[in-house]
A and B are shown apart, each in its own frame.
Chain A
């Protein structure tokens, strides 16, 4: 088995300057935004372990009367969907009345509409040539801010995709999600040791310089060859082919970047291994052992709740592990599927199909909904919450040297619809974690009705160090409020 990418390579800077000079790379923001270094001795030394941003979003909307606490301010007994989080409530901030106002272009159905605005908060979403279109999603934006400091700028995993596409690049093109747990694991950890970063040593400046990459290495030659060839090719192509070739080049560069970072990281981790951080990272216990086992698991998700649960557990563990090992600082899980069946989870009525329950159990007014179906929806969401609770508990238990991983994370728990009737008002939203000591938990804050969800992303991005003060339609929404911020949150 080879590494999933060239093991060593370095394209001389002179070549890249040449390419840029030739105008080939003018359209590659990637190179402008990714700073080429990891934390090195003597360079900008943060005082604490880094802040991580996690997105934990499940399908189907929720049942708000069982999600949103009645009282404002300090959290009392949590509503039933969140009940499993009771032991962790001092680490939670529940936010209510956050809403989306983005419009569809008339070419998308209600699920697509909700999915495309979910993490982008775009004013308009739609389809172009059958392909979802929105604006940059918050995970990608976050990766532009903090991604350069970790091995992989942003990790996206889970079951979302198709109608539930949540993730978009800077050009508004839909991005893929890794659905397979084993593939996700290999992409993150192939060639590395599982080691807890020794943050105090790393922050004190004890990291080694990586050995310079040999420019004569085979994989460097491969990349050189591809770039040379692509450059020659540019001259022979029409505009649209050139655009496609730029996409290609951008991807080859990002692989080159990955290789360089991996190389540097392996050197750092080799030192950490002698004196690792206090926690003990390990591969998820139910990580499928081979492709066949993995396919079996992934295929059964929508039919078998026990296997669905295994899947949520392993994906949750992967996110925790990714943060614990500083593989990424931005990790999104798009979990669940509206197509799933929930026999045994739903114990009322005879209907077990999430999508049908969502349609029957939701109406403009609670009293108009089918109460049995609504109870079914409630049970499904209480079930999802267990797995989120697992993530919170595990992150709380990981010691990063005086603070827990949870203390250093801001983890959003939400759904792509507000309710099962494709609602866009009053989404379920809570933040878990201390964001490096900046976020105080144990609270429920209700904002004015229809406050843009984008305002929450502005706050999260701010916690990560973004000072632009704007995201999605935080300022342009018809319902813009609080000058695009969420007062009292931080």
Chain B
């Protein structure tokens, strides 16, 4: 579970009393919480992992944004206090929600969040090196640069990347290997020619040719304009090589190697030299271009983006939008799917799913890959065709090949290969909830796991992950004489979840998964569950009864604003490389508004994030 992906349910949905003064901490929060909440949510009991006594004044509240956000959401929806406890008086509810909204209101003093040092991820490094040298060479694999050690969430989290010594060694190795390839492999003759814009001849001395090569190369490598003295610093190494008798190419190589291990290359540094600490300013055009290209492409800007940054068109609204749309349509934007959408959906987990061969002989490697491909193509379709992000929840099409359509028992595509197919209501598919990938990766080896499916919905779609189970919760309770032997898995789970320390979360989580019980552990629509009738009914506190995947989709329809805001928040969080906080709320409001005005199209999501205040601005420290 990853708290980084927290709920961003809409604070703007809260009843804000126009012109009313935000109440003080004591009357706006403490008194109400004491009366209704602390009995369960104090330091001692911490029911559901929630301790509200940590909020001791308006200041400490700011550090507890995620917690209070959840409080606001659950109080607003009526989930809290629970039915069997004293109900909140309407005026107390209003006051509490008003206090929370007011405490986190930054509309009068916008804040782009902390400026964070960004380090290239493994994938970004590899793609950047490839684009910079124009070679088709997987330096990261060759040098053994490891995947980021990030559990869940996005690999580009600024706080999660450490430039540790072993990694630095590998960057040195990778630089050597890439240059070996560029200067030594026949396949790289073209790229080498492009790099060496000038060669020494009768009219050009070797050292001035070297400087010329570097003056073209360095701005691309450092992704910004470069001063003459910087060019000279790197040129000195090449000149010294020339003096020692090295050939021109070898001298260029020696001048370029340090570029590839320089902090300007490995890090995404943004200069704040001239800014007064505490002030907020728009980032430079060059910096904005870099932010954009790593957000959309996970690599360095291309020629056109560099030009737009240099000639200033990037700072004009039309010019900016033109670039974003161009980049989004570009093939390189697949990176956005791969490193953002697919990780948001936790799609890589499908590779770890292990349905047992005994229970599911039809689950083969090719079926698994087909499931993954379906989700991937669905996401790609959303981007390329600029569809509505609501199709994640409900769509009348999907992508299958012959094998997957057979598995789903739906009308197959005309050929054997993957194609878009239309779905009928009786197929029960369409959107993420009917996808084999999602259903399989949230299952056990031999049965479904309603809890895992419920957790996936809460965490991924709604952005409200339940807290992790307590350390001793791993197993089902032991058999005992005073308990009736459960007849079905559902009863077994119900017994387990009746444990006082478990029930609070399980009753929020499990019912969502129950609704998906018609799909077995590999996502096949089933008539019965091990000889027993499928029980696909669920009840959620504050929401009521629902049945089956169709019922679940209706519940999610009601939750649409939460889902949309969550998607906006995930996207913004990925773009910024950090967790969001209260100061990002105004930006989210704007992104969500723009989405609503543009039929929730994918491009309006991306444009909204790219235009947002925290994406465009930086605070000087």
Contact = CB atoms under 8 A, between A and B. Distances in A.
A396 interface: no
Contact of A339 (B114, B173, B352, B469): B352
A129 B149 contact: no
A226 B261 contact: yes
Nearest to A190: B173
Nearest to B5: A130
Interface stretch (B203-211, B234-242, B389-397, B536-544): B234-242
B361 interface: no
Interface string A87-116: 000000000000000001011111011000
Interface string B116-144: 11010000000000000000000001111
A405 interface: no
Interface string B449-481: 000000000000000000111011111001100
B3 interface: yes
A176 B273 contact: no
* Interface size range on A against B: 35 or more
Contact of A236 (B176, B272, B475): B272
A252 B163 CA distance: 10
A395 B49 CA distance: 48
A142 B191 CA distance: 47
Contacts of A5: 169, 172-173
Contacts of B157: 129-131
A161 B149 contact: yes
B354 A252 contact: no
B498 to A, nearest CB: 17
Nearest to A254: B165
Nearest to B273: A236
A178 interface: yes
Contacts of A174: 149, 162
Nearest to B620: A238
Contacts, number: 218
A313 B469 CA distance: 36
B333 interface: no
Interface string B149-172: 111111001111011111111101
B579 interface: yes
Contact of A237 (B153, B236, B271): B271
Contacts of A60: none
Interface string A245-261: 10110111011001000
A380 to B, nearest CB: 15
**Secondary structure class of chain A's binding surface, majority of residues:** mixed
* Interface size range on B against A: 35 or more
Nearest to B50: A106
A17 interface: no
Interface string A273-317: 000000000000000000100010000000000000000000000
Contacts of A187: 166, 169
B474 A362 contact: yes
A169 interface: yes
Contact of A251 (B49, B163, B173, B444): B163
Given A2-B180, A131-B159, A368-B478, A351 B173 contact: no
A165 B446 CA distance: 28
A169 B164 contact: yes
Interface stretch (A74-82, A227-235, A481-489): A227-235
Interface string B360-379: 00000000000000000000
Interface stretch (B14-22, B262-270, B300-308, B606-614): B262-270
A424 B471 CA distance: 9
Nearest to B479: A368
Contacts of B270: 241
A18 interface: no
Contacts of A235: 273
A129 B233 CA distance: 37
A228 B233 contact: yes
A241 B164 contact: no
Contacts of A240: 114-117, 621
Given A240-B116, A353-B356, A356-B445, A258 B169 contact: yes
Interface in A328-363: 339, 341, 350-353, 356, 359-360, 362-363
A345 B172 CA distance: 41
A129 B578 contact: yes
Contacts of A169: 164
B533 to A, nearest CB: 25
Interface string A171-182: 001111111100
A239 interface: yes
Interface in B475-526: 475, 478-479
B168 A248 contact: yes
Contacts of B158: 129
Given A235-B273, A247-B163, A362 B151 contact: no
Given A218-B254, A229-B233, A238-B620, 8 more contacts: A5-B169, A109-B469, A130-B153, A176-B167, A229-B264, A240-B115, A351-B445, A353-B354
Interface of A: 1-6, 104, 106-110, 112-113, 127-132, 161-163, 165, 169, 173-180, 183, 187, 218, 221-222, 225-226, 228-230, 233, 235-241, 243-245, 247-248, 250-252, 254-255, 258, 291, 295, 339, 341, 350-353, 356, 359-360, 362-365, 368, 421-422, 424
Nearest first, the 4 closest Cβ-Cβ pairs linking A and B are A129-B159, A244-B117, A368-B478, A251-B168
16 contacts: A4-B172, A110-B474, A112-B151, A162-B149, A218-B241, A238-B621, A241-B269, A244-B117, A244-B119, A245-B117, A251-B164, A351-B445, A356-B445, A356-B446, A359-B474, A422-B472
